[in-house]
Amino acid sequence: METYLEFTGMGKSFPGVRALDDVSFRATGGKVLALLGENGAGKSTLLKILSGDLQPDEGTMSFNGNTVTFASPHHSIKSGVSVIYQERQLVPSLSVMENVFLGNLPVNAFRQLDKRKLRNDTREIISKFGLSIDPMAPVGSLPVAYQQMVEIMKAYQRDSDIIAFDEPTASLTDAEIDVLFDLIRQLKEAGKIILYVSHRLAEIFQVTDEIVVLKDGRKVKEFQTTETDEQELIKAMVGRDIGDTYANLSRNESHGDVLLEVNNLVTYAVKNVSFKLHEGEVIGLAGLVGAGRTEVVRAIFGADAIISGEIKLSGEKAVFKTPKDAIKAGIALCPEDRKEQGLVLWRSIKDNICMPVLSKLKKGLFLDTAARNALAEEAVAKYTIKTHTIEKLVMELSGGNQQKVILGKWTSSKIVTKILILDEPTKGIDVGTKAEIYQMVCDFAKQGIGVIFISSELTEVINVADTILVMCNGRLTGQVKREDATEEGVLALAMLE
């Protein structure tokens, strides 16, 4: 008997935004259905309704013909639904095994926690995933990629009938992605209903059978995966043909003096790294997860302690004991984890944009409301942030618009940024917004800003950066100019010991 999940006439509104508008489609068991669309298209809203986080304003959701309504995430999970979000739903202080079986912990005859069974069952799942993780290790001590795998293990052990993946590979290595795809195929063969959200189009063709494209809260197209191609999907998502994204970039062709010089940098995770960044140059940092890319820029930004080595800014030795020192010197960092480290989610767009320059927005003893409003409106217009008001909470924005808020914060007319560090700026962002961010990077370089661009997508680094620095195990293993770079060559350098 075929199992299916069906959405009929789904509608959901928030103040000033129609997030879902008459969305209808069916996902069947034994197939993987992709939900595609730009940030703000309605994908996350739909998944939150499925998980019980939100209730629809209109429409129905049915499982095998029976109408279902989930009053809470707990109700959704108990009803056989698992939603794996890009933002991890873990308890950092608890162990891996406690997180994996949270809500379903095994107990003995005395109704006490059966730690031996818990440990053994978790080891069995870890083994199935082909990973080397200590089941008793605190989740908060694990790298981001392993935390994401714990999130997936948690859903796997529930043996749910319906499983939704929201950008599951954003933090994973290629090897871990292969493990995930193999598990998805096993789930598919078991007849599970699988929804898959990703902005990486190559993945869609690897792992899905059907595709539903959303735009501005409405369903615009349905495809069989084998009967379409990337260009057709992009056109459906964006509403236009964006052509060759990289070939269309308007780049900065001339570089100025040396702006940043890093000499023999050593930290707890970085080993003897040296390089130079010129005015108007885009340097790309490439490497596998754990290569040390983020640790290099955190040290430059004053967020991690430097054991030895030196940093020079415009030829002068610089010592940044804290990020505040780096910011004063004109260095800005858009961090990898924008929600945890880059934004104050429960504050408004205006508050986030103005945060680095509050001292410049005073009128006497008080903040100048008109000046703050003007600065925020300037950023919204400059970066086309989708919002009806600058008072909107940042947590209510899509991932792409959150990233634009961070860019607006560090490049406003009230701040002088000489060096802009972008760590995974396109993670979880749709193809249309990616193209915008690539051009923004080139525009920053044209203004004489030195840009350090980190991305786990090799194609992105190779095509956006002027110079690619490759890292492996905390060391620089190669330096390649864009015109000489290939994915195979950069990957080979990224795997050098």
Contact at 8 Å (CB) between 196 and 155? no
Q: Specify the CATH architecture of the domain 4-238.
A: 3-Layer(aba) Sandwich (3.40)
Q: How far apart are CA 477 and CA 457, in angstroms?
A: 18
Average pLDDT, integer, range 60-87? 90
Q: Which of 51-55, 336-340, 401-405, 423-427 has the lowest mean pLDDT?
A: 336-340
Q: What percent of the chain has pLDDT over 90?
A: 53
Q: How far apart are CA 88 and CA 386, in angstroms?
A: 25
Contact at 8 Å (CB) between 81 and 51? yes
- pLDDT, mean over the chain: 89
Strands 258-266 and 273-278: antiparallel
In this predicted structure, the answer to whether residue 25 has a pLDDT above a threshold of 80 is yes
pLDDT digits (tens, 9 = 90+) for 440-477: 899 999 999 999 999 988 888 999 999 999 998 899 99
The pLDDT, as a whole number, for residue 491 is 82
Band of the pLDDT at 366, cuts 50, 70, 90? Answer: confident
Going by the DSSP 8-state scheme, the letter that residue 102 receives in this structure is T
Average pLDDT, integer, range 22-29? 96
Long-range contacts of 98-106 (CB under 8 A, 24+ apart): 99/139, 99/150, 99/154, 100/125, 100/135, 100/150, 100/153, 100/154, 100/157, 101/154, 101/157, 102/154, 103/74, 103/77, 104/157, 104/158
What is the Cβ-side half-sphere exposure of residue 76, based on CA atoms within 13 angstroms? 24
The pLDDT, as a whole number, for residue 202 is 86
Residues 6+ apart with CB under 8 A from 322: 302
- The tokens describing 28, both together, are 């069947």
Q: How far apart are CA 223 and CA 231, in angstroms?
A: 13
The pLDDT, as a whole number, for residue 132 is 83
> DSSP string of 320-342?
-SSHHHHHHTTEEEE-SSIIIII
The pLDDT, as a whole number, for residue 487 is 84
In this predicted structure, the answer to whether residue 243 has a pLDDT above a threshold of 60 is no
DSSP H stretches of helix in 102-200 = 115-128, 144-158, 174-189
Contact at 8 Å (CB) between 405 and 385? yes
The pLDDT, as a whole number, for residue 241 is 58
- Of 169, 146, 40, 48, nearest in space to 100 by CA: 146
The pLDDT, as a whole number, for residue 339 is 78
Q: How far apart are CA 430 and CA 38, in angstroms?
A: 5
Q: How far apart are CA 183 and CA 185, in angstroms?
A: 5
Q: Where in the chain is the domain with CATH 3.40.50.300?
A: 4-238, 258-494
Q: How far apart are CA 31 and CA 34, in angstroms?
A: 10
CA distances, 39 to each of 185, 218, 266 (Å): 27, 13, 38
In this predicted structure, the answer to whether residue 242 has a pLDDT above a threshold of 60 is no
pLDDT digits (tens, 9 = 90+) for 246-259: 888 889 988 999 99
Q: How far apart are CA 76 and CA 237, in angstroms?
A: 29
In this predicted structure, the answer to whether residue 166 has a pLDDT above a threshold of 80 is yes
Average pLDDT, integer, range 125-137? 87
- CATH, domain 258-494, list 3.40.50.300, 3.40.50.150, 1.20.1050.10, 3.40.710.10: 3.40.50.300
Higher per-residue confidence, 173 vs 435: 435
pLDDT digits (tens, 9 = 90+) for 272-307: 999 999 999 999 999 877 789 999 999 999 999 999
Would you give the distance in Å from CA 469 to the centre of its chain? 22
- What's the pTM? 0.66
- Of 442, 462, 439, nearest in space to 287 by CA: 462
